[in-house]
Structures are given as structure tokens and as C-alpha cells.
Amino acid sequence: MEKIAFFDAKPYDREWFDKINKKHEIIYYECRLRPESARLADGCKAACAFVNDVINAKTIDALSEMGVKVLLMRCAGFNNISLDAAKGKLTILRVPAYSPYAVAEHAMGMILALNRKIPRAYIRTRDFNFSLVGLTGFDLHGKTAGVIGTGKIGQAFIDICKGFGMEILAYDPHPADINGVRYVETDELFRQSDIISLHCPLTRETRYIIDEGAINLMKKSALIVNTSRGQLIDSEALLSALNDKRIGGAALDVYEEESGLFFEDNSDKIVTDEVLSLLVSRPNVLITSHQAFLTEEALRSIAEVTLQNFDDYLEGKEPKNEVKAK
Ligand code: NAI
């Protein structure tokens, strides 16, 4: 039995890790992993972390000094880790896929909610306001979906769009052979799409893939949905386009400055992020708190793969889910 220091633990994490874990001692901490909290992993062979933990060189050195050998990421993304700093100090294992359907279904759910103004209608009818004024949407059938990134989630999203009778345009530097999908350059995708959905990782190339220039190519009615990573969109450019009615709306499950806000109840605090405050207040913006992954199937799979990664490491098996600096 080994000890795992589990950071940023939420009740839904505990529920599934406690169900699946049969071998190890998991010590749950509610605080995020960062340089100041890393010493809580003292005596643990592994630390388990999530998307907004601060895993820079200082955190990695502190974990290493505490005797931690493995960092178990219970997520797919690893843009919050300094991979160079981890070289020779920590083995980093992740969960490359848990439920692409969870994220793809949430993306379509957000589009339906935004386009058909379902959250606004819900709030109105709870107050017996049955007016339809301002709730007009558009049919998705026959419209064009632009999908950026056609990996596991992008392909699940494409299948859903096909079910709605949509045309599909896609951009990916590594195109897949997908029936009924036309790969185009980003400019054409931006010009022609009625909805644009982001399913690529955050990298140097994709940071701000949606910027002022991209938005200016889009239809004024276009809806953007981002369930990937916040920094794919320049939020100030998005806000400015919403203010000038250069874009139809945005559904955001992620936000570039989400760290420290998302996943937490901030309702008693004064949130000073003005861009977020303005985005939240717009009727044509829908924000969820990085919840696209949050289904029972995904949580089970995250717990299973995270713990299997650790067991494979302990048994000296070839690590299939290792992340390394290039
Ligand atoms: P994947 O690795 O299966 O697919 C990513 C695709 O993006 C690949 O086809 C790759 O070629 C493509 N890509 C790489 N660079 C690109 C570029 N410059 N432009 C366009 N496409 C590019 O990954 P998967 O599982 O489909 O996940 C996609 C993203 O979804 C993840 O990177 C993660 O950021 C996000 N995600 C969000 C979750 C949430 O709860 N909101 C949960 C899980 C993942």
C-alpha cells in the first residue's frame, strides 16, 4: 500500500476514488497543489492533481523533496505543468481520455441553451413571465458547424452535429478520415460556420486561435463554444465583439483566467475580474464552470485510469499515459 496526496479534492472526486480504490491510502486535501501546499505530500509516493493546480518548477522541487515520485494527473490536459522542470524528478501520468461523449454532449447542450435561450426562459417562467419576446433562436438543421480539433472529443461532437442535420467543416493539422467532414483552413471555417466549437489542446500554436482577426471573419450571428481551454480565446477581443454585435454569442465552459474562480463557490466574494463580470452579464453569453467532463461515466473512468496508471508504475510496466518534455 502506498500513500497518495490528493489535491483540490471535491466531493465527487472522493466518491469515485473511494469506490474504485482498493489498494492505497488516499489523503484528500481541499487546497490546490501549488508551491506552498506541496509539502502536504510529505511521505507520499504520489501526488494527484487537476487542471488548475500550479505545477511549476517550485512545486515540482517541493514535491520531489517530500519524496514524491509520481504525479498522477486526473485529467487529459497538462498545460499547467512545467514539463522541463519535471525532467528526472517526477514521472507524470495522465488520463488521456475518459469520456469524449461527456464533453461533446455538454458542448451541444450549451449551444442549444444559448441558441434557444433556455436559461433565460427558465428564469422567466419561474416568475410566471411567459413572454417569448427576445427568445428567438435559429434551426441548427442545415446550418454549418466549424470544428477546430477533430480528435476524440471533436469526432464525438461531429457525430452529434450530424444527428442535427448540420454540414461540418473542420480544421486540424492532422486531419482524420471522417465521413461527411470537409477539412478547410481556419479562415474559411471562420467565414462559413454558424457555430464554431473548439476541441484542440492549448499549445503555443492554439493560444488565442480565436482573436480579434478570427472574430472579424465570422458571421455576425455565429455562436462560439469553448469546452477546451480558456486561453484558446482572447476574452477581451470576444467581449469587444459582443459589445459591437460582431458576433452572435458565446458558450464558455472554460475561461482564460478561470484559475482560482472556477470549481469554487465565489458567491459571497467580490469578483474583480472585469472581463468575466461583463461576459457573465451579457444575455448572449452562457458560462459553465469547467463542468463539461462531469458525468458519472467520466468520473468513474478518471478514477480507474488514474489508479491503474499508479499501479502500472509501481509494477514497473511500460507507462502508456506518461507525459514528458519534448
Ligand atoms: P485529442 O488529443 O483526442 O484531440 C485533439 C485534437 O486537436 C487532435 O486531433 C490534434 O491533432 C488537434 N490539434 C492539435 N493542434 C491543433 C491546432 N493547432 N489546431 C487545431 N487542432 C489541433 O484530445 P481530446 O480528448 O479530443 O480533447 C480535446 C481538448 O478538450 C483537450 O485538449 C482539453 O483541453 C479539452 N478537455 C476539456 C474538458 C472539460 O471538462 N471542459 C475535459 C476534457 C478535455
Ligand 1 centroid to Cα of residue 152, in Å, is: 8
Q: Ligand 1 centre from 124 Cα, in Å?
A: 36
The residue whose CA is least distant from atom 2 of ligand 1 is 151
What are the respective helix, strand and coil percentages of the chain, to the nearest 5? 35, 15, 50
If 0-12 CB within 10 Å is exposed, 13-18 middle and 19+ buried, where does residue 27 land?
middle
246 is a catalytic site residue: no
Task: Give residue 135 CA to ligand 1 midpoint distance, Å.
Answer: 32
Active-site residue 124, yes or no? no
CA 70/CA 323 separation, integer angstroms: 11
Stretch 102-129: mean pLDDT:
98
- Quick check: CB of 195 below 6 Å from ligand 1? no
CA angle centred on 287, ends 209 and 265, rounded to 5°: 125
Whole-number mean pLDDT of the chain?
97
Among 190, 200, 294, 306, residue to substitute to test ligand 1 (most atoms within 8 Å of Cβ): 200
H-type alpha helices, the chain: 11-20, 57-65, 83-86, 100-115, 118-126, 152-163, 186-192, 212-217, 235-243, 274-281, 296-314
- Distance, CA 149 to ligand 1 centroid (Å)? 6
| pLDDT over 90 (residue 140) | yes
Q: In what side-by-side order are the strands of the sheet with 223-226? A: 181-183, 167-171, 144-148, 195-198, 223-226, 249-252, 285-287
For residue 173, pLDDT beyond 90: yes
Cβ(74) – ligand 1 distance below 6 Å: no
- What is the residue type of 273? D
186-198 pLDDT, tens per residue?
999 999 999 999 9
Residue type, 141: H
| CA of 151, closest atom in ligand 1 | 4
CA distances from 50 to 94, 228, 267 (A): 10, 15, 23
- Considering 24, 74, 256, 258, which one is annotated as catalytic? 258
The protein residue with its alpha carbon nearest to ligand 1, atom 9, reads 151
- 229 classed as catalytic: yes
Residue 155 contacts residue 185 (beta carbons within 8 Å):
no
pLDDT of residue 165: 98
| CA 83–ligand 1 middle distance (angstroms) | 18
pLDDT at residue 326 above 90?
Answer: no
**With 90 as the cut, is the pLDDT of residue 260 above it?**
no
Query: 201 with 229: CB under 8 angstroms?
Result: yes
228: pLDDT strictly greater than 90:
yes
Model pLDDT, residue 319: 87
C-alpha to C-alpha distances, 51 to 105, 107, 155, 262, nearest whole angstrom:
20, 19, 23, 11
Collect all residues with Cβ–Cβ distance below 8 Å to 282 and sequence separation of at least 6.
242
Task: With CA atoms as reference, report the closest residue to 302 among 7, 87, 97, 65.
Answer: 97
Look up residue 4 and give its amino acid: I
pLDDT score of 239: 98
Cβ 255 under 6 angstroms from ligand 1: no
Q: Active site residue: 229, 236, 246, 315, which one?
A: 229
User: Can you tell me the distance from the alpha carbon of 107 to that of 251, in angstroms, rounded to the nearest whole number?
Assistant: 8
Confidence of residue 117 (pLDDT cuts 50, 70, 90): very high
**For residue range 283-297, what is the model confidence (pLDDT) as tens digits?**
999 999 999 999 999
Ligand 1 atom with the shortest distance to the CA of 291: 40
CA distances from 126 to 114, 117, 129, 167, 287 (A): 18, 15, 7, 36, 20
- Under the banding of pLDDT at 50, 70 and 90, the label for residue 243 is very high
Cα distance between residue 6 and residue 4, in whole Å: 6
State if pTM tops 0.75: yes
